[in-house]
Chains A and B, each alone.
Chain A
Amino acid sequence: MPTPLLEITGLSKSFPGVKALDAVDLIVPAGEIHGLMGENGAGKSTLIKVLTGVFPRDAGVTRLSGQVVAPSSPREAEALGVSTVYQEVNLIPHLSVAENICIGRQPTRLGTIRWGAIAKRARAALARLDLSLDVNRQLSSYSIAIQQMVAIARALDISAKLLILDEPTSSLDKSEVEELFKKLRILRQDGLGIIFITHFLDQVYEITDSITVLRNGCRVGCFSTKELPRINLVAHMIGKTLRQTEALEHTRASTATIRSDAPMLEARALGKKGSIQPLDLDIRPGEVVGLAGLLGSGRTETARLLFGVDHPDQGTIRINGHPARLRSPRSAIRYRIALTPEDRKVAGVIPNLTIRENIILALQASRGSWRRLSLPEQEKLADKFIQSLAIKTPSREQVVRNLSGGNQQKVLLARWLATEPKLFILDEPTRGIDVGAKAEIEKLIQSLRQDGLAVLFISSELEEVVRQSQRVVVLRDRRKVDELTEAAISEEAIMQSIASHSMERPEA
C-alpha cells in the first residue's frame, strides 16, 4: 500500500472543560475526496484547526506524504501544501479577482507589484479549475459560487497537496453546487487529496469516495461511501437509534389544526421594486405555509417585507382583517409577528450577551426600558426555555457565542416564543445545525402549529418544506410562480414548478 497523502494518528486536543478531540485517526490518500462528517460539536472544526496550525495539539502525529509535520500557523500549513477554504468566503469583495488570488504573496520587482505577473498567475490558477474569468474585474461582481471557486483557486495557487473545504456549499444553489463538484472532480484527477465537510447528506454521497465520522471528539469509523447506507451514516453521526428521524419521515403535516379560514395575515399584491414582485399570501392560524425556491428567488425578501425590515412600495397587508402598516420590526412585533432570520450571526444572536439576556431581549424590547423584567423573572423565563427546548448549556449565564449553531438557533426561537407570537416567520431555521437539533426544531414547529400559531416556513431543503407545510408557495426569480396545497405537495411538484417556469427565461 502506498504512503497515504495525509495520515493523522492519535490526535488529541482539550479545551478547558472539554475534550474536543480524543485520539482521532484520519487517513486521506492522494486523489480522494474524503468526507468528514459529524454533528455540530463533534470535533470537525477543531480537527481542521489543529491540522492547519490554528490550535496547538495536545498529542498525536500528523504525516504528510510520510513526513511528520506539525504546522504552528495556517501560513506554515499552506507552505506545507495544506490549504483551507472556509465556510464564509474569506476574500476581499472590492479587490479584483487577480488581486484576491495573489494577495499576500504578490510577485514584486524592486518592491513594486508586477501586475502583469499577477494576472498571469491568477489566470493559471483559475485554469486549473477549468475556469476562465476576467481576472481584472471586481470580485463582488461575480456570484457567490464563482467567489467560492476563486477562494479555491487562491488555495490551489500555492502548490497545494491537500485541500480542505469547510462547508463550501452552504451558500450555493443546486446548479452552483454541480459546478463546484465538477471542479472538485478535476482536482481529484490531478491527484489532490480533498477533505470535504458538509451537513448535506446528498452531497456527501454524490462527491466523496470515503467518509470519516466523528462524534463527541472521537472517531466513530472510516467507511467507503459506496458501502455505507445512508441510514447507517446518520446513526453513526447521532449515535442513537433512528426513531427520532424516522418519526419525522412519517409525520406528514395535516390540515386538521387549521382553526379558521380567516387568515391571520393577508398580503395582497405586496411587492418592492428590485426585491420581490407583487405577490398574494395568506397565512391562517394553525397553518404552516412553506416558502420554497432557489437561493435568491425572493424568499428572504418576502420575509423582510412581512417583518417590517424592508418597506413595500406597493400592495397591502391585513392582519386579522385589519389593514396594517409595518414600518419596522418594532411595529411588526406589536402585531405579534416574530422572525428568526436566515443569517443568525448578523441579524440573530447577540454573541457576547448571555443566554438569559438573549432570550428575554425581544420581550423586554416590547415592554420598553422602564418596565424592566426583574432578575428572577428573567431567570425563570430563561430556565423555562432552556428546559423546554433542551438548550445544551452548563448555565443560563453562558455567553451565546460559545454555543453550537443548533443551540444558538434554539436561543433565538426561545427569544421569540417568550413574546408569545401569533405569526412566526422562520427563515432557514435548520441551516447549519446538526441532525438532532434539526429534528427537535421540526417537532417544535409542529407543536406551535397545534397551538394555533400561523407559521411561515422558509427552507432550501425541499424535503423539509414538504414535511412541514400544509401549503407551499413557490418563488422563482423574485416572483411567486405557484401555490401547492395538501396532497399536491411533493418534492417533485415543487421542483417541477420551479423548473417549468425556468424555461420561460434563461437562468440569470
Chain B
Amino acid sequence: MIDWLSDLAFWIVFAGILFALRRQRIFWTVGALALLLFFNQFFTPGFFHLQVLDGHLYGSRIDVLNQGAKVMLLSLGMVLVIATGGVDLSVGAVMAIAAAVSSRLLVTQHQPPGVAIAVALAISVLAGAWNGLLVAGFGIQPIVATLVLMVAGRGIAQLITEGQIINFLDPTMVYLGNGHLFGLPFTLTLVVVMLLLAHFLVRRTALGLFIESVGDNDEASRYSGINAKQVKFLVYTFSGLCAGLAGLVACSNIKSADANNIGLYLELDAILAVVVGGTSLQGGRFYLVGAVIGGLFIQTLTTTFYAKNVSSDIAPVPKALVIIAVCLLQSEVFRTRATRILGPLQKLLNPISPSLHRQQPTIARHDSPEP
C-alpha cells in the first residue's frame, strides 16, 4: 500500500518534470529514462521497492543512483570536451590511475586519507592537463592525443600498484563510494556538487559561451578574440578532475584498487551518456544536465539487465539497441520521417516541434532553409 502510494507520487513528480521540459532539448533524454523506468515498474518485480534501514534508503532506484555516479561524473567532464569538438578517451585509464595512487598512498605509504585523495585528484588533473597540452598546445587530434593516455594510463596504474590489487578498509575512503548523506548515497551529493560546480564554471562565467563557440566554429572564434587554446586546455583538465573523482568512487565501491578493471570501457559509457543527453559529437551546443541524465539512463539500463538476469556477455547487444532507439528519437530527420508515416500520432510523437518550428526563419528574406 505504502509502496503503491510512493510509486504514484514518483510518477506524478516525473510527469510534472517531463511536462516542464516539453520544449527543451533534454525532453527526449528524460523521456527515455521515463520509458525505461515505466518498463521496470511493470516487468521487473521489486525494482521500485524502497526500504529504509538505519535511516538510509535502499532499493534498485537508489542503487542506480549510486552505481551511476561514476558515469555521471565522467559525463560532466566529457560533455564539455565534446562541446569543443573533441573527445576524451583516457577517462577510464585516469580512473585507474587515481584509484592506484590513492590506495597506494593509503595502504603502502600509510598516508592519511585526505592526503591520498588530494594527491590522487591532483594527479588526475595533471593527466587531464597533459591531454589538454597535446590537443590545444600541439594541435594533435583529440582522439589520438587521448588514446595515448588511454593505452598508457593502465600501464602507469599497474606500475603504481606494482601489479597488485590493493585492498583497503580506511573508513573515509570506504565512505566515498558506500556512505550515506541525508539518507541517500554520498555519491549522489558528489554528483550534485560537481554538477553545480560545472554549471557555475560554464554558465555563470562566459566560459560556456566560449566552449560552444569554439566547438561550433573554431576559426571564427579565434577571429573573435577567443583564446581557443585556453578553452580547450581547461575542458580537458576539468575532464581529468572528473575522471579522478570517478576513480576514487570506483575503488571505494569495491574497497580495492584493481588497475586492470577500474573504469574499464567507462569512457565509452560516458560518451554515450553525453550523446543520449542531447549533445552532438560535432561540438557546439552542450547540455550539462542532459549528460548527467544520460549517465543515469545508461546505468538504469545496465541495472535493468542485471535485474532481468541478462548475462553480462550479451547485455551489450540489447543495450546498443536501446541506445540507437534513443538517438533516433533525438534525430530531427528521423522524427520528421516517422511523423510523416504516423501522421495521426504527430502531436504525440513530436511535442517539441512547435518550438523548433518557431525557430525556423519566419522572415521574408531567408535563404534556403535547412532541409
Co-assembled chains A and B: yes
- Judging by beta carbons under 8 Å apart, are B367 and A357 in contact? no
Contact digits for B226-250, partner A, Cβ 8 Å, 1 yes 0 no: 1100000000000000000000000
Q: Which residues from chain A contact B205 at a C-beta distance below 8 Å?
A: 369-370, 372
Task: Say yes or no: A401-B370 contact (C-beta < 8 A), given A309-B223, A365-B226.
Answer: yes
Say yes or no for B365: interface residue by CB 8 A criterion: yes
Say yes or no for B371: interface residue by CB 8 A criterion: yes
**A379-B328 Cα distance, complex, nearest whole Å:** 35
Say yes or no for A405: interface residue by CB 8 A criterion: yes
- Judging by beta carbons under 8 Å apart, are B220 and A55 in contact? no
- Judging by beta carbons under 8 Å apart, are B368 and A49 in contact? yes
Give the one of B205, B206, B221, B222 with max A CB within 10 A.
B206
Say yes or no for A129: interface residue by CB 8 A criterion: no
- Judging by beta carbons under 8 Å apart, are A350 and B216 in contact? yes
- Judging by beta carbons under 8 Å apart, are B217 and A18 in contact? no
Contact digits for A343-363, partner B, Cβ 8 Å, 1 yes 0 no: 000111111110001000110
- Judging by beta carbons under 8 Å apart, are B225 and A365 in contact? yes
**A176-B220 Cα distance, complex, nearest whole Å:** 29
Q: Which residues from chain A contact B371 at a C-beta distance below 8 Å?
A: 49, 54-55
Q: Which of B3-11, B302-310, B355-363 contacts A (4 or more CB under 8 A)?
A: B355-363
Tally of chain A residues near chain B (CB < 8 A)? 59
Among A329, A348, A369, A394, point to the contact of B210 (Cβ < 8 A). Answer: A369
Say yes or no for B285: interface residue by CB 8 A criterion: yes
Task: Say yes or no: A398-B359 contact (C-beta < 8 A), given A333-B225, A350-B221, A352-B285.
Answer: yes
Contact digits for A215-246, partner B, Cβ 8 Å, 1 yes 0 no: 01000000000000000000000000000000
- Judging by beta carbons under 8 Å apart, are B368 and A46 in contact? yes
**A347-B222 Cα distance, complex, nearest whole Å:** 8
- Judging by beta carbons under 8 Å apart, are B364 and A45 in contact? no
Residue of A whose beta carbon sits closest to that of B280: A352
Say yes or no for B131: interface residue by CB 8 A criterion: no
Residue of B whose beta carbon sits closest to that of A393: B363
Task: Say yes or no: A350-B217 contact (C-beta < 8 A), given A364-B209, A372-B205.
Answer: yes
- Judging by beta carbons under 8 Å apart, are B225 and A330 in contact? yes
Q: Which residues from chain A contact B226 at a C-beta distance below 8 Å?
A: 361, 365
- Judging by beta carbons under 8 Å apart, are A361 and B367 in contact? no
Contact digits for A62-84, partner B, Cβ 8 Å, 1 yes 0 no: 00000000000000000000000
Say yes or no for B369: interface residue by CB 8 A criterion: yes
Say yes or no for B366: interface residue by CB 8 A criterion: yes
Q: Which residues from chain B contact A41 at a C-beta distance below 8 Å?
A: 363-367
Say yes or no for B252: interface residue by CB 8 A criterion: no
Residue of B whose beta carbon sits closest to that of A346: B219
**A397-B23 Cα distance, complex, nearest whole Å:** 15
Task: Say yes or no: A404-B357 contact (C-beta < 8 A), given A347-B219, A365-B226.
Answer: no
- Judging by beta carbons under 8 Å apart, are B361 and A349 in contact? no
**A329-B224 Cα distance, complex, nearest whole Å:** 7
Q: Which residues from chain B contact A370 at a C-beta distance below 8 Å?
A: 205-206
**A477-B213 Cα distance, complex, nearest whole Å:** 35
**A363-B331 Cα distance, complex, nearest whole Å:** 34
A47 to chain B, nearest CB (A): 10
A349 to chain B, nearest CB (A): 6
A419 to chain B, nearest CB (A): 8
Q: Which residues from chain B contact A348 at a C-beta distance below 8 Å?
A: 220, 223
- Judging by beta carbons under 8 Å apart, are B365 and A216 in contact? yes
CB proximity to A under 8 Å, residues B181-205: 204-205
Say yes or no for A373: interface residue by CB 8 A criterion: yes
Say yes or no for A300: interface residue by CB 8 A criterion: no
Say yes or no for B278: interface residue by CB 8 A criterion: no
**A214-B40 Cα distance, complex, nearest whole Å:** 58
- Judging by beta carbons under 8 Å apart, are B366 and A329 in contact? no
Say yes or no for B284: interface residue by CB 8 A criterion: yes
Q: Which residues from chain A contact B258 at a C-beta distance below 8 Å?
A: none
Contact digits for A200-213, partner B, Cβ 8 Å, 1 yes 0 no: 00000000000000
Among B227, B358, B364, point to the contact of A330 (Cβ < 8 A). Answer: B227
Residue of B whose beta carbon sits closest to that of A397: B359
The B contact surface, by secondary structure, is loop
Say yes or no for A389: interface residue by CB 8 A criterion: no
Give the one of A216, A348, A353 with max B CB within 10 A.
A353
Among A307, A339, A361, A401, point to the contact of B213 (Cβ < 8 A). Answer: A361
Say yes or no for B268: interface residue by CB 8 A criterion: no
A180 to chain B, nearest CB (A): 23
- Judging by beta carbons under 8 Å apart, are B210 and A352 in contact? no
**A18-B219 Cα distance, complex, nearest whole Å:** 32
Q: Which residues from chain B contact A320 at a C-beta distance below 8 Å?
A: none
Task: Say yes or no: A403-B366 contact (C-beta < 8 A), given A352-B216, A372-B205.
Answer: yes
**A340-B111 Cα distance, complex, nearest whole Å:** 58
Q: Which residues from chain B contact A333 at a C-beta distance below 8 Å?
A: 225
Say yes or no for A399: interface residue by CB 8 A criterion: yes
Say yes or no for A17: interface residue by CB 8 A criterion: yes
Residue of A whose beta carbon sits closest to that of B222: A329
Task: Say yes or no: A20-B369 contact (C-beta < 8 A), given A350-B221, A353-B216, A369-B210.
Answer: yes
Say yes or no for B207: interface residue by CB 8 A criterion: yes
Residue of B whose beta carbon sits closest to that of A48: B368
Q: Which residues from chain A contact B284 at a C-beta distance below 8 Å?
A: 352-353
Give the one of B207, B227, B358, B368 with max A CB within 10 A.
B368
- Judging by beta carbons under 8 Å apart, are A18 and B363 in contact? yes
Residue of A whose beta carbon sits closest to that of B227: A330
Residue of B whose beta carbon sits closest to that of A44: B367
Say yes or no for B269: interface residue by CB 8 A criterion: no
Residue of A whose beta carbon sits closest to that of B221: A350
Among A361, A366, A369, A404, point to the contact of B365 (Cβ < 8 A). Answer: A404
Q: Which residues from chain A contact B365 at a C-beta distance below 8 Å?
A: 39-42, 216, 392, 404, 406-407, 434
Q: Which residues from chain B contact A16 at a C-beta distance below 8 Å?
A: 357, 360
- Judging by beta carbons under 8 Å apart, are A18 and B364 in contact? yes
Say yes or no for A57: interface residue by CB 8 A criterion: no
A375 to chain B, nearest CB (A): 10
Q: Which residues from chain A contact B216 at a C-beta distance below 8 Å?
A: 350-353
**A351-B362 Cα distance, complex, nearest whole Å:** 17
**A407-B210 Cα distance, complex, nearest whole Å:** 22
**A307-B224 Cα distance, complex, nearest whole Å:** 11
B201 to chain A, nearest CB (A): 9
Give the one of B210, B358, B369 with max A CB within 10 A.
B369
B207 to chain A, nearest CB (A): 4
Say yes or no for A123: interface residue by CB 8 A criterion: no
Residue of A whose beta carbon sits closest to that of B223: A347
Residue of A whose beta carbon sits closest to that of B213: A350
Q: Which residues from chain B contact A401 at a C-beta distance below 8 Å?
A: 370
Among B224, B362, B363, B369, point to the contact of A361 (Cβ < 8 A). Answer: B224
Q: Which residues from chain B contact A415 at a C-beta distance below 8 Å?
A: 224
- Judging by beta carbons under 8 Å apart, are B367 and A18 in contact? no
- Judging by beta carbons under 8 Å apart, are A349 and B220 in contact? yes
Give the one of B213, B227, B365, B369 with max A CB within 10 A.
B365
Among B206, B213, B221, B361, point to the contact of A398 (Cβ < 8 A). Answer: B361
Told that A346-B220, A393-B361 touch, could you supply 16 new A-B pairs with CB distance under 8 A? A15-B360, A17-B357, A17-B358, A45-B368, A55-B371, A330-B225, A333-B225, A347-B220, A347-B223, A350-B212, A352-B284, A364-B210, A394-B358, A394-B361, A404-B366, A405-B367
B-contacting residues of A (Cβ < 8 Å)?
Answer: 15-18, 20, 39-42, 45-46, 49, 54-55, 216, 307, 309, 328-330, 333, 339, 341, 346-353, 357, 361-362, 364-373, 392-394, 397-399, 401-407, 415, 434
Task: Give 18 CB contacts A-B under 8 Å.
Answer: A15-B361, A16-B357, A40-B365, A41-B364, A46-B368, A49-B371, A216-B365, A307-B223, A328-B222, A347-B223, A352-B212, A357-B212, A365-B225, A367-B206, A373-B206, A392-B364, A406-B365, A415-B224
Q: 7 tightest CB-CB pairs across the interface, nearest first?
A: A41-B365, A17-B362, A45-B368, A365-B225, A16-B357, A333-B225, A372-B206
